Amino acid sequence: MKKIICGLILILSLTIFKELSVSKKIIPDDAIRLRVLANSNSSYDQNVKEKVKTQLQSEVYTHLKDAANIDDARDIIKANIGNFDKSIKKVMEKENYNIGYNIDFGYHYFPNKEYKGIEYDEGYYESILVKIGKGEGNNWWCVLFPPLCLLEAEESTEVEYKFFVQEIIDKFLK
């Protein structure tokens, strides 16, 4: 009897594991992204991109915290795009970085990307785009609204994995 139960549990666990491993789209259709393109892939340019990204992401989230829906988020971004521009300028000045940049809110191209086993389709998405210099370096992007960037930033690297089915099997075999 224990072998039959263990066999059924094993089949069930394999079915569940297969479902969990399938990539699912986690970005809603009504979403606003943030994308920052570095001038180049030099360590200096990438470092400046990271600082711009960190400052801008923090500032945008501060403004979007009270957005109840996508329309509120759009209005807030449009009303504050000048403030976001000033924040980028401050970062550039602090870093003594004299390359120009451009910030724009609208629909921008995003290439196909795989991240953590999930594939994101290429296409034109509503976003804040910051292009630093030539914009030929690696980019960084996330979803501002709904606030999926924050979810990733809050992920802990210390994770304890427990396999529920293994615990059940161990319990029955004791």
- For 141-158, write each residue's pLDDT tens digit: 888 887 766 444 433 333
Spatial neighbors of 72 by CB under 8 A, at least 6 apart, are 66
Is the separation of the CB atoms in 34 and 110 below 8 Å?
no
152 in Cβ contact with 146 (< 8 Å)? no
CA atoms within 13 A on the CB side of 135: 10
Residue 29's pLDDT band (cuts 50, 70, 90): confident
- For 34-93, the pLDDT digits (tens) are 999 999 999 999 999 999 999 999 999 899 988 999 999 999 999 999 999 999 999 999
Indicate if the pLDDT at residue 111 is higher than 60. Answer: yes
Rounded to two decimals, the pTM is 0.70
- Tokens 């809050």 correspond to what residue? 154
Residue 167, pLDDT above cutoff 80: no
